[in-house]
Chain A
């Protein structure tokens, strides 16, 4: 009877597994495609230099790094169904997440703080419900699944207190319709908070005027404040914010930026800077990056960056994947790190 064990057990098991240092001490992971359209999970070190790349079965989306063991789980892009567990030092696939037939992944997942469990955002598509799969990382068997608190759960992140935040995008999709969005007039996104054992603790919904602004990608600062990158699904002629901030117990705070239109209604990834002073929001459709003040949400400028996709902390700075390499945000400026040409980054950059 392993089901629900998740709700009861604590403590970590680190039996005979390699630590990240044995895999070249990567700091970042990203899915990417090469010139011949093969998909890879690429790991970068503290200098944003590639330390390894491992093949993926098909186009990836985001990934999750185990907190202690040198294992990464890479997810298919929706409505893809693969979730591969990669043993990074060995450079091989360790396990594959066996998803029930009537589910697909949304491309994101998060480990519990002790590393015992992995939570994945999933679509129970025939019922039109968002679910969170729970996997035991001892052997990556599926042991449970929980309500996500809404339709279309996309990114899930672990919070400083060990709980989780889930961005329920609100958009109904079904693999029979490919990637088509099926409920835009009635969509209701929300941000849900879960306790460390997966219970739904709080949920916040946007006001009516922002109801079609999908809550999709999220990050959290050291104080537990959540920043949300939004994707507008209403009339393309309207101009709406690309960023919202939220503190437990409060309302959503929407943050305007004079360059929001440059994102073409599509905020890709989001990250606080390690010191919490800034928030970066990428716009891969608009080839643009927005910078916000991390505490007030005030606009702090922007930068045209072709294919600005993933963003994540790297040391004391922030790294952004762009066409042909990375850009590092440091001291209020930007510097560029070239990567091997021919590699095209996918949407996200994940910290190890």
Chain B
């Protein structure tokens, strides 16, 4: 293991060295531009960011495909339940980074709610699931039945309720998983098929119906990362934390399966991924390194909570650590606003063109 690490380090050093020797590479965004260069290659950034997005939407597509197969194998062929649980977990963690990118195909397909109906303050998921379970078995396993029903029974929280309560798992788990896979396929296709959203972003310009310049796509990405951080701080952590007088363990996302903290970790990793490999060298090296370091600090605070979020918020000793993580996530937002936004030259200030 140590040898592999050493080897990797050597390869990385070689790569860095060759980039430093060569001319500026728009693909890698290397070498990092010097402080004061003051220009961002938005087209190169877009090219790299689309690679990151394609990988992440592809991973979600693959995970849901595997989940759908595993559900059939579990219900129809007696495959081990652990396989299904593992596939469910992988699917949710593959979705986590995509929660930040609520624009384009995700918005057009209303996927934020169909994939992850949360927060569910009025118990819509339980009600919708009961309606699905009242259908004949053949209908339950048919994704068309799920498609025709409520969004609350089309995604991960409904699957979780099936798998972590006394509800009969089969064959509804087949229908929901199959529908979730259809959603993932649609999202991937709407993004990356010819004439999809990626092509729309590539064609940014004065006559583009959405992006008047490549810089506008950069702004969309930057805003999306900020949105993801708000979702972590205010919703994923803020909802279960409640107030000092009262915490709300069951308001934690995925509290039944205990995936809460892993989802937060996966979303943070996704944000770091976009900064490191998408924004890459088009943000100055010290700024990029610093924001990644602060994200790393958040990750290590997360690892030190030492209990599932739902339990941790209710226990004074652990609660402080959850609050500490929330503070750190807000710190990431400040660092982004202070260093990364201005660095990218994206104006997130007031404009009547923001619309309403």
Which residues in A have some Cβ–Cβ distance to B below 8 Å?
A: 33, 37, 59, 61, 77-78, 107, 126-127, 154, 176-178, 180-186, 231, 234-237, 261, 264-266, 268, 284-285, 287, 307, 309, 321, 344-347
Contacts and interface: CB of A to CB of B under 8 A. Distances in A.
B107 A184 contact: yes
B244 interface: no
A257 B121 CA distance: 44
A234 B110 CA distance: 12
A307 B107 contact: no
B110 A344 contact: no
A181 B122 contact: no
B355 A268 contact: yes
A347 B107 CA distance: 23
Interface of B: 102-103, 107-110, 112-113, 119, 121-122, 195, 200, 209-210, 212, 227, 230-231, 234-235, 349-353, 355-356
A344 B113 CA distance: 35
Contacts of A177: 102, 112, 231
A27 B212 CA distance: 36
A185 B109 contact: yes
Given A37-B350, A346-B352, A236 B230 contact: no
A183 B117 CA distance: 12
A242 to B, nearest CB: 13
B200 A236 contact: yes
B122 A61 contact: no
Given A59-B350, A78-B356, A285-B353, A182 B209 contact: no
Contacts of B352: 268, 284, 307, 309, 321, 344-347
Contacts of A183: 110, 113
Contacts of A285: 353, 355
Given A184-B107, A264-B209, A287-B353, 20 more contacts: A33-B350, A61-B356, A77-B356, A78-B356, A176-B231, A176-B235, A178-B227, A180-B102, A181-B107, A182-B110, A183-B110, A236-B210, A261-B209, A264-B210, A284-B353, A307-B353, A344-B350, A344-B351, A347-B352, A347-B356
A39 B230 CA distance: 23
Interface centre among B113, B209, B210, B349 (most CB of A within 10 A): B209
16 contacts: A37-B349, A59-B350, A127-B122, A176-B231, A182-B113, A184-B107, A184-B109, A185-B110, A186-B110, A236-B200, A237-B209, A264-B209, A265-B209, A268-B352, A284-B353, A284-B355
Contact of B119 (A107, A176, A345, A347): A176
Interface of B (DSSP majority class): loop
Interface centre among B103, B107, B112, B355 (most CB of A within 10 A): B355
B356 A235 contact: no
Contacts of B200: 236-237
Contacts of B122: 126-127
Contacts of B212: 264
Contacts of A237: 195, 200, 209
Contacts, number: 76
B107 A180 contact: yes
Contacts of A186: 110
Contacts of A307: 351-353
User: 9 closest A-B pairs (Cβ-Cβ)?
Assistant: A236-B209, A309-B352, A284-B352, A33-B350, A180-B102, A126-B121, A285-B353, A284-B353, A236-B210
A287 B119 CA distance: 37
Nearest to A39: B350
A211 to B, nearest CB: 14
A186 B110 CA distance: 9
A282 B160 CA distance: 47
Contacts of A178: 227, 230
A307 B353 CA distance: 7
B227 A182 contact: no
A122 to B, nearest CB: 15
Contact of B355 (A37, A185, A266, A345): A266
A107 B356 CA distance: 9
B355 A347 contact: yes
Nearest to A323: B352
Contacts of B110: 182-186
A78 B350 CA distance: 14
Nearest to B235: A176
A235 to B, nearest CB: 7
Nearest to A107: B356
Contacts of B353: 284-285, 287, 307
B232 to A, nearest CB: 12
Nearest to A59: B350
